[in-house]
Chains A and B, each alone.
Chain A
Amino acid sequence: MLQLVVFSLLNGLVYGMLLFMLSSGLTLIFGMMGVLNFAHASFYMLGAYFAYTLSQHLGFFPALLLAPVLVGLLGALVERHGLRRVHRFGHLAELIFTFGVAIVVGEIVQLVWGRPAKSYQVPAVLDVPLFRLWSSSFPAYKAFMLVIAILIFGFIFVVLTRTRAGLIIQASLTHPQMVAMLGHNVPRVFMIVFGIGSALAAVAGVIAGPVLGTFPGMAEVLGSIVFVVVVIGGLGSVTGAFVASLLIGIVQTFAVALNGSFGDALLAVGVPESASGPLHDVWKVTVAQVAPVLPYVLLVAMLIVRPTGLFGTRET
């Protein structure tokens, strides 16, 4: 039992930190530009595919550095020449634009790399168990993922709170007009933030690709959950994204580990099991089976109780 708890906690942490890497960029873009960036997960996918190709020529670690830079530049280009033009037509146009980018990227990936999953492997150095506890092992690669995610959190935190650039970004989050009045080039700030956000998504892609698989459907698999994280954490709040990511990661992992069903829970409070009838199937549904739905349940609950999210300050 203790083994299950320890490893579930570790797995939950790793998964949560992965979600954080994806959602930190999204929440920054979301909070600053008011754009629900549907293409965010596509940059995550591009990160994985770029790294896959680069790692075949240069090895994994140069790819870990290069792929996010390339994707970040690409993101900045998309903002500069696409989003900025569409911006003047309002949020709806921006929304549809990012939606289009997501579809285009998805198709391009299939054209260039094909539809079968790519054999993008964990580098041999990290492909060893870090430690064995009881009868399971914890791979070194997952520890590596954790370290990278913590470094990124530290990086964002320091940039946002300890530098001049961070000051301007934070100010643009809440008072974009005022920042522009003060003579800052707000469109350029937007471009940089969009680029950095895309690069962060790409980092997540580079390190998640070998674990979660590198295939054309990988963006869709994580796309929706990242929005849940951002809304629960609060729009534009990096701290919120951090807490919400860990919360969802751990809740989901533990839900899978549990064996109980609704019938068991009701039995515990004295409601007898209905052996037949329309509710019979509902009775037998286990917590593990509903695990993937839990984040969305959390999302709905959050929107009802606290629409601004855990750490958000504004509702739009």
Chain B
Amino acid sequence: MRTWTRLLLLVIVLAVVAGVPSHATPADPIRIAFVDPLSGPFAATGENGLNQFKYAADGINKAGGVLGRQLEIVGFDNKVSPQESLIQLKKVIGENIQFVFQGNSSGVAHAISDAVQKNNERDAANRILYLNYSAVDPALTNEKCQYWHFRFDAHSDMKMAALTDVIAANKSIKKVYIIGQDYSFGKAVAEAAVTMLGKKRPDIQIVGNELHPIGKVKDFSPYVQKIVAAGADTVITGNWGADMVGLAKAANDGGLKVPFYTYYAASDGITAAIGAAGIDRIRLVHETHPGNPNAPKALGDYITGYRKLHPQNDVNQPRINTGLNMLAQAIKRAGTTDVDKVAAALEGAEFTTLGGDHVVMRKEDHQLQMPVYISVHTNKNIKYDLDASGYGLSLEHKVEREKAMQPTTCKMQRPA
């Protein structure tokens, strides 16, 4: 009997000793790649995105992580170049990272989506998942859709549908000028604007449809002059980063006082650059509550926490939090980081965002179905300002998820 109890004790002690290390030392982190510009003209945009990913990951880690593991965000600089992105993607695969977030530039997004698809067909053992948090060319979830790509931002047609609704309702708008960057996204914006305005307000005249090289224009004054000369009373632009700063500054200087309907005219120095000249004139179509007025509490706390860490930067892409949390949930539900199972768990997944919106990852095309917001640049009643400038965005109009939904032409090839 004594030997039996001794043996039992020994077994228990051994089990505890053997068991302790596996609980006390944290398991390997789940590494997640962030492939976006960290140098060059768009570095500011990429850097702020990376910080928001780290901040969102911190939140998940503090709440216990995923499957007992921590999330670790690893930045890869792709210089917004499709070629460089493919090199970085090889590095990502080489480091055994399975999840890739990218968002800046749809040109890059197409290249990565392609490469990921090929990699996953070739090498079923080392598959990777492409999570797109910001590249909004509709083609990515339509004719070019593929199983390993998931998008967490409303694509440009969803946004344009909302924008053109607002424009259509404003009877004083007669002459619209469209200006954008010369690549897939800029072209998609222009095309959607022309078709949708043509349907909703055939009386509106498109007085200009201009594409300029992306990241190369030094002074936008000549473009602004052209807009003035065309007699436009409204401008639509999909410009982002330095190209939006330049356009806004030149418009201020050139005395162009017409309203701007934009996709990205906020944060990363843009709000500060626009300043007083843009009050009630610059509007933005985006995917989450702008924080003013009356931000939902979860969003407000999230913004406050981020501003404590990065006083000069803003939470300008709350979809980063949505994307990362949806991935974390999918990994939890799959019970593994196996890409096949995580992808399956993401399909049809539902989530409630910081702004309190209920969003759904549509199975047919992997496009997150979400409401679309339209906000205006102002300094009145701004609790959460941008660029620490006193100016911020205030909610004007919300299109609910069901109304923002767009049909898809995607015929997805699913892995056997």
A interface residues with partner B (beta carbon < 8 Å): 1, 3-4, 7-8, 11-12, 14-15, 110, 114-119, 121, 129, 132, 135-137, 139, 141-142, 211-213, 215-217, 220-222, 225, 252-253, 256-257, 288-289, 292
Q: A110 near B219 (CB under 8 angstroms)?
A: no
Q: Does B269 count as interface, using CB distance less than 8 angstroms?
A: yes
Q: B272 near A215 (CB under 8 angstroms)?
A: no
Contacts A117-B273, A119-B273, A132-B255 hold; do A292 and B40 have CB atoms under 8 A apart? no
Q: Does B212 count as interface, using CB distance less than 8 angstroms?
A: yes
B interface residues with partner A (beta carbon < 8 Å): 40-44, 47-48, 182, 210-213, 216-219, 221-223, 225-226, 228-229, 231, 242, 245-246, 249, 253-256, 268-270, 272-273, 275, 312-313, 387, 389
Q: A136 near B255 (CB under 8 angstroms)?
A: yes
A-B contact count (CB 8 A): 120
Closest B-chain residue to A4, C-beta based? Answer: B229
Residue in A7, A117, A220, A288 whose Cβ sees the most chain B Cβ within 10 Å: A117
If A4-B226, A221-B41, A257-B222 are given as contacts, then 18 extra A-B residue pairs at C-beta distance below 8 Å, sorted by A number, are: A1-B229, A4-B225, A4-B229, A8-B225, A11-B225, A15-B219, A115-B44, A115-B47, A116-B48, A116-B313, A136-B225, A139-B253, A141-B253, A211-B253, A213-B269, A215-B41, A220-B40, A252-B222
Q: A114 near B312 (CB under 8 angstroms)?
A: yes
Q: Least Cβ distance of A85 to chain B in Å?
A: 29
Closest A-chain residue to B255, C-beta based? Answer: A137
Q: Least Cβ distance of B378 to chain A in Å?
A: 18
A176–B216 Cα gap in the complex (Å)? Answer: 38
What are 7 A-B contacts defined by CB distance under 8 Å?
A3-B228, A11-B225, A117-B269, A132-B255, A212-B246, A217-B42, A256-B223
Q: Least Cβ distance of A126 to chain B in Å?
A: 11
Q: A129 near B226 (CB under 8 angstroms)?
A: no
A135–B226 Cα gap in the complex (Å)? Answer: 12
Q: B242 near A217 (CB under 8 angstroms)?
A: yes
A1–B225 Cα gap in the complex (Å)? Answer: 11
Q: Which of B218, B253, B268, B269 interacts with A221 by CB under 8 Å?
A: B218
Closest B-chain residue to A129, C-beta based? Answer: B255
Q: A116 near B212 (CB under 8 angstroms)?
A: no
Q: Which residues of A contact B225 (CB under 8 A)?
A: 4, 7-8, 11, 136, 257
Q: A256 near B246 (CB under 8 angstroms)?
A: no
A99–B136 Cα gap in the complex (Å)? Answer: 37
Q: B268 near A116 (CB under 8 angstroms)?
A: yes
Q: A116 near B222 (CB under 8 angstroms)?
A: no
Q: A211 near B219 (CB under 8 angstroms)?
A: yes
A116–B316 Cα gap in the complex (Å)? Answer: 13
Residue in B222, B246, B255 whose Cβ sees the most chain A Cβ within 10 Å: B222
Q: Least Cβ distance of A3 to chain B in Å?
A: 6
Closest A-chain residue to B43, C-beta based? Answer: A115
Contacts A137-B255, A289-B182 hold; do A212 and B43 have CB atoms under 8 A apart? no
A250–B145 Cα gap in the complex (Å)? Answer: 44
Contacts A11-B219, A11-B222, A292-B216 hold; do A217 and B182 have CB atoms under 8 A apart? no
Q: B249 near A288 (CB under 8 angstroms)?
A: no
Residue in B44, B216, B245, B312 whose Cβ sees the most chain A Cβ within 10 Å: B44
Q: Least Cβ distance of A23 to chain B in Å?
A: 14
Q: Which residues of A contact B217 (CB under 8 A)?
A: 292
Residue in A1, A7, A132, A220 whose Cβ sees the most chain B Cβ within 10 Å: A7
Q: Least Cβ distance of B369 to chain A in Å?
A: 32
Q: Which residues of B contact A222 (CB under 8 A)?
A: 218
